Amino acid sequence: MIFEVLTIFPELIECYTKYGVIGKAIEKGLAKVKIYNLRDYTSDKHKKVDDYPYGGGAGMVMQIEPFYNALKEIKKDGKPRKVILLSPKGIMFTQETAKSFLTEGKGIVLICGRYEGIDERIKFFIEEEISIGDYVLSGGELPALVIIDSIIRLIPGALGDEISAKEDSFMKGFLDYPHYTRPEEFESMRVPEILLSGNHKEIAVWRKREALKATFQKRPELLKNLSPEDMKILKELCSEINKKIMEEAYEPVNH
């Protein structure tokens, strides 16, 4: 899988791609991240990539020329690519989006804007606009890295433990279950006994139950297309939560 990033801050991308899952995937030859410094694709002798906006207003706008020149250079080899603009106007990036991008098998070009944005004519050279959330960032480099990281994790062989990727939050449609490690007790807080039992079948049931519980309490909108088994667990959870609420509401007050 090849990712190509257009940015005026190549160091931001280079730094992150040297470590962790991305770094190891690159070492194994499972992924490649190529970075294009937009200042190398401008005709201005000072390597300027921005200018004042037509019509006035605050801030600077990135010029179309360096993006056009960089994309022209990238596409010379004729290989299929999906050109993506990182933008708050784009569709929301999700785990399903990451899986679909990987399944397509195309290289991905990620365009990182800065300042007040990019000349609107960039829209003629992209296929899709992607947003990673409803908040403001200083540029597209962090969203680009989020997308690269999330997709590379899905590439077979990128993680040391393939089961780990399959059990990540959102992979099954809901949040992950709680995780614990040594020591068994810390500051009077104990690891749940079920996890120490060695009964893998019961542990699997407990984990599914805890995952559904966390999703129901924190992200209920994710609970879609549940299996009959999931629905049964969810009904039990709702019953327990309602019972607890009633008990607390009618708990006698000691004076």
Query: How far, in Å, CA of 72 to CA of 23, rounded?
Result: 28
The secondary structure of 218-233 as a DSSP string is H-GGG--S--HHHHHH
What angle (nearest 5°) sits at the alpha carbon of residue 206, between those of residues 201 and 209? 130
The Cα 233–Cα 228 span in angstroms is 9
Catalytic residue among 53, 65, 88, 209: 88
The token pair that represents 228 in the structure block? 């009959």
- Active-site hit among 168, 176, 207, 209: 168
Between helix 228-249 and helix 200-218 the angle, nearest 10°, is 60
Q: Is 168 one of the annotated active-site residues of the chain? A: yes
Catalytic residue (one of 50, 153, 210, 230)? 153
Please give the backbone phi and psi of residue 89, each rounded to the nearest 5 degrees, phi first. Answer: -85, -5
Catalytic pick from 116, 149, 167, 176? 116
Amino acid in position 75: K
| CA gap 143, 132 in Å, rounded | 6
For the question of residue 88 being annotated catalytic, the response is: yes
Residue reference for tokens 């890295």? 145
Q: Count CB-CB contacts under 10 A for residue 142.
A: 16
- Spacing of C-alpha 216 from chain mean position: 21
Give yes or no: 116 in active site: yes
Catalytic center residues: 88, 116, 153, 168
